[in-house]
Amino acid sequence: MKFMLKNYPKQQPTKSSAIFSQRSLFACSILVAVATQALGSDLIRSGDVYALGGDMEGASSAYDVAMIENPKLSLDLSFLVRKSRAGRELGDVELSKALLRRAQSLATSGKDIGQTNWILGLDAFFVKDYESAKRFFAQAFMTDPAPPLELLYYSGWALYKMGNYDEASNAFHNLEDLNQGQFDPGELNLLQASIAYHKADLDEAQKRLADTAAYPRDIRNREEALYLAAYVSLRMDSLSQSTGYAEKFDDTVRSILIRARLALENGSFPEACELYSRLESQEALYGLAVSQYLASRTNEAEKTALEYLDAYPGGAETEQTFLLLAMIERGRNRYDKAIEYLNRGLSINSRNRPRLLYDLAEIEYSVKHYSKANEACVEILTEYPLYTGKDMVNLLLARGLFYSGETDSTIKVLNELASSTSDEVVLNEIHYYLGESYYRKGDYSKSAEEFKNVSPGSSYFKALKRRGEVLAAAGRNSESVESFLLAYSEAPSLVEKESVLLAIEERRLAMGRYSDKASMLKSFLEKYPDASIASGIQLQIALDYFERRNWTFALHEFNKVLDKYPDSDAAAEALYYKARCQRNLGKTDDALKTYSSIPPRFPSSAVVSRSQTELANMLLSLGRPGEALSVYRDLLSSTKSSSERASYTLKMAEIYCGMGNLQTASDLVTAALTENPPSDVAKRLLLFGMRVELSKGSITSAVNYSVRYRNRFGETPEYLLGKGDIDKASGNLKDALSSYREAASRLPERSESRIEALLGAASTAELLGGVDEAKRYLEQAAIEVQLDRQRVEITKRLQTLK
């Protein structure tokens, strides 16, 4: 199962020897101290009795009285160990640590130092600080000339808890060799089996657990061994054997857990949900969430997973729970939330980090955050070289590099992966992306060869088709047709088959079989009149004539689309281009009618906005601004896009301004700016607002627009042109001339805006008395001017100056 940890739950140290046969760590440390140094004090012995009986307050009081009677006890190592442990059991952690540090400073002999480090290691172990425990145990081994076997036992456990399975195995191997009855051999064997399980050495684990099913019921660790054996069988896909182990359990909880896991493996997700819901534990709650997810009860799975995080914030399955929540959000296409959950899981920095990183990389890749996906892949490959899914990580990295535009790096990663993997699916992906990479570099021969190396499988059709396209780009048309014919035989759908047939006809066109593209497309329709892409082909025929400016033939072919395929996606485009053909043929009234018929016939088509904008412009060119306004009002009422609303409102404002209704134009600019328009529309609105307010004589409002523009877009040439107009209207002629000059120097030559800047500079220079300077600006404008209306204005001004 993708989300279900197949890790056998880590064991806790068991009661394997006399010295650790009591119920608390306190008792353990007391017995160690008594075994090494008896003080003979009645009060201390009384404290020990209280401690072994579980009365921590009584023990602490007895030790306190003993210290009052004999202050020198504050310098006694064994006594300080007792007092520290009592403080720890009573919750006074700081006092406990202080006493242990004091005891450590008093230790002088190797035996004392070793004993102190041994106790410190135990203290760290039982508060789950395994790194510190390992360090103290190691120091105890180095300093104590005769360390107890228990030190080796707990050292092995600390290493096991840290995931250092090889070192833990060595420790327990040594303990097996040195064991003379102090430890249960069955327990040590079980520990070695558990380590083998975690190292994925399932054969070794199974070998050590071979006799588990035959254990008598009175054998210690029987239930633990059966539980681990059932999990090993699950991992080895031996469900029947796992079921056999599950049937021998006396422990009802473990029996239900194994049965639930077996239900998951068998795909019986509702049964797994029912079994897990009977139990109240970390493993059961997490298992329930997974079962609900796999049973497509997503909302319940999310609720259960969140309940797990609330109940067990530091639980064993916390990272896996975040992964499960991420997958739920990914299925909902809520990628940001999925990434958030994965990052929360990664913050724990556990043994599951590589898996979380891989899923993070997949999601980042799917939302086209290729650099972030690549970073996650690189971390897995560099920090976790033994990660079992390295092939897929390398492949994902190569794809991320490819779409990041890093073609050479893509080729390097793919070639290295090809030399190390034998997975046929991975090899197919390698050859496919190498083909794309070489194609991007323009090496068509290598590209075609890589596509040819893809073997039958999920990428086969795609590779054959791409090979045909690459060979076509290289001008090897005959080979291209051969590849397309192979692709046709592998096409997974009718649409794909038709697309390949069309590609073959296009190659035959390139080989001179047809006189032009339209003839080729018509031939295709004659061969395959019922093709699902027929409407699109007919549209292409019409567009081919349109691009060649053969308006009459194009109009005829567009009508064919409308007659034969009136309800197709191609019909809306055909109607739009029909109107353009009519307009180009001078059939103005027909064009107006055709444009007007598009919204009611295809109300949700993307063609509506284009066609109606052209209709409004056509009406304006015919001197019918009122009708153009009506068109924009209809567009405004039908769109849900704030960007489109702002753009249409600006158009209406321009029309009203042209009609002399400046106040309405001003109001519309204000309304459009409230729509939070995109940058390009906002620029036009602010610049137009400046001109409208100047035309109204409202210099203050014009200045306000100019300030808003500058704050958002800076001092662009368009801004400087508007600023020149404002300065000129305000009487700041020198500033105006400076702005016009700067604008003209930065605007493209021959552009309408540059001519406006030169005209502004000329008029301002004339007002300042610089007639010759004004003449120079006008003469430069006359050289560059493209628009007739500007040419007329320049000619008049030059004549006036003369």
Question: Residues 172-185: pLDDT tens digits?
Answer: 888 888 877 777 77
Distance in angstroms (rounded) separating the CA atoms of residues 765 and 644: 41
Confidence of residue 788 (pLDDT cuts 50, 70, 90): confident
Q: To which H or E segment does residue 402 belong?
A: helix 390-403
Amino acid at site 260: A
Confidence of residue 10 (pLDDT cuts 50, 70, 90): very low
The average pLDDT across 789-797 equals: 88
Whether 434 maps to a domain, the answer reads no
Distance in angstroms (rounded) separating the CA atoms of residues 70 and 80: 13
Q: Is 655 helix (H, G, I), strand (E, B) or coil?
A: helix
CB 330 within 8 A of CB 338: yes
Query: For position 107, what pLDDT does the model report?
Result: 53
- Indicate the range of 85-94, 408-417, 540-549, 724-733 predicted with least confidence: 85-94
Q: Is 170 helix (H, G, I), strand (E, B) or coil?
A: helix
Whether 369 maps to a domain, the answer reads yes
User: To which residue do tokens 């290493």 refer?
Assistant: 159
Distances in whole angstroms, Cα of residue 295 to Cα of each of 292, 331, 448: 5, 14, 45
Asked if the model's pLDDT at residue 211 lies above 80, the reply is: no
Q: How many CB atoms lie within 10 A of CB 516?
A: 12
Query: For position 250, what pLDDT does the model report?
Result: 60
CB 414 within 8 A of CB 402: no
**Reported pTM:** 0.61
Q: What percent of the chain has pLDDT over 90?
A: 50
Distance in angstroms (rounded) separating the CA atoms of residues 151 and 111: 13
CA dihedral 730→732→737→740, nearest 10 degrees, is -40
Query: For position 386, what pLDDT does the model report?
Result: 81
How many residues comprise the chain?
Answer: 802
Whether 591 maps to a domain, the answer reads yes
Highest mean pLDDT of the ranges 105-119, 198-212, 310-324, 685-699: 685-699
Whether 529 maps to a domain, the answer reads yes
Read off the pLDDT of residues 39-90 as tens digits, 9 standing for 90 and up: 435 777 777 667 666 677 877 777 777 777 777 666 666 676 677 777 767 7
CB 320 within 8 A of CB 3: yes
- Which has more confidence, 94 or 553? 553
Q: HEC string of 710-726? A: HHHHCCCHHHHHHHHHH
The domain of 566 spans: 514-638
CB 485 within 8 A of CB 508: no
CB 463 within 8 A of CB 431: yes
Asked if the model's pLDDT at residue 29 lies above 80, the reply is: no
Query: For position 38, what pLDDT does the model report?
Result: 36
Asked if the model's pLDDT at residue 1 lies above 60, the reply is: no
User: To which residue do tokens 């008049």 refer?
Assistant: 796
Query: For position 9, what pLDDT does the model report?
Result: 37
Supply 502's token pair.
Answer: 């069309």
- The DSSP letter of residue 39 is -
CB 583 within 8 A of CB 576: no
Q: Identify the CA nearest to 260 among candidates 251, 246, 247, 271.
A: 271
- The DSSP letter of residue 568 is S
CB 538 within 8 A of CB 560: yes
Q: How many CA atoms lie within 13 A of 699 on its CB side?
A: 10
Asked if the model's pLDDT at residue 16 lies above 50, the reply is: no
Query: For position 787, what pLDDT does the model report?
Result: 86
- Indicate the range of 353-367, 388-402, 659-673, 786-800 predicted with least confidence: 786-800
Asked if the model's pLDDT at residue 431 lies above 50, the reply is: yes
Q: What percent of the chain has pLDDT over 70?
A: 83
User: To which residue do tokens 């409002």 refer?
Assistant: 701
Strand locations in 495-578, DSSP E?
A: none
Boundary-marking domain end, from 638, 666, 699: 638
The string over 416-433, giving b where at least 16 C-beta atoms fall within 10 Å of a residue's C-beta and e elsewhere, is ebeeebeeeebbbbbbbb
Whether 527 maps to a domain, the answer reads yes
Distance in angstroms (rounded) separating the CA atoms of residues 52 and 21: 11
Confidence of residue 725 (pLDDT cuts 50, 70, 90): very high
Asked if the model's pLDDT at residue 210 lies above 50, the reply is: yes
Confidence of residue 236 (pLDDT cuts 50, 70, 90): low
Asked if the model's pLDDT at residue 769 lies above 80, the reply is: yes
- Indicate the range of 200-204, 251-255, 426-430 predicted with least confidence: 251-255
Supply 655's token pair.
Answer: 């029309």
Q: Identify the CA nearest to 634 among candidates 616, 659, 655.
A: 616
Supply 771's token pair.
Answer: 């007639």
CB 168 within 8 A of CB 160: yes
Asked if the model's pLDDT at residue 12 lies above 80, the reply is: no
Whether 593 maps to a domain, the answer reads yes
Total structural domains in the chain? 2
Whether 788 maps to a domain, the answer reads no
Confidence of residue 203 (pLDDT cuts 50, 70, 90): confident
Across all residues in the chain, what is the average pLDDT? 84
Conformational region of residue 457, where left means phi above 0, alpha means psi within -120 to 50, and beta covers everything else: left
Boundary-marking domain end, from 584, 617, 638: 638
Supply 132's token pair.
Answer: 């510190």
- Indicate the range of 195-209, 358-372, 483-497, 544-558 predicted with least confidence: 195-209
Distance in angstroms (rounded) separating the CA atoms of residues 551 and 591: 13
Question: Helix H segments across 90-247?
Answer: 93-106, 110-126, 130-143, 149-162, 165-178, 185-198, 202-208, 222-235, 239-246
Asked if the model's pLDDT at residue 25 lies above 60, the reply is: no
Amino acid at site 236: M
Asked if the model's pLDDT at residue 26 lies above 60, the reply is: no
Query: For position 571, what pLDDT does the model report?
Result: 94
Q: How many CB atoms lie within 10 A of CB 310?
A: 8
Supply 704's token pair.
Answer: 């306000």
Confidence of residue 18 (pLDDT cuts 50, 70, 90): very low
- The DSSP letter of residue 280 is -
Boundary-marking domain end, from 365, 397, 429: 397
Query: For position 76, what pLDDT does the model report?
Result: 65
CB 195 within 8 A of CB 172: yes
The average pLDDT across 540-564 equals: 94
Query: For position 624, what pLDDT does the model report?
Result: 94
Confidence of residue 794 (pLDDT cuts 50, 70, 90): confident
CATH number of 611's domain: 1.25.40.10
CB 260 within 8 A of CB 35: no
Asked if the model's pLDDT at residue 36 lies above 80, the reply is: no
Q: Is 54 helix (H, G, I), strand (E, B) or coil?
A: coil
Evaluated on CA atoms 547, 553, 555, 556, the torsion sign reads: negative
Whether 162 maps to a domain, the answer reads no
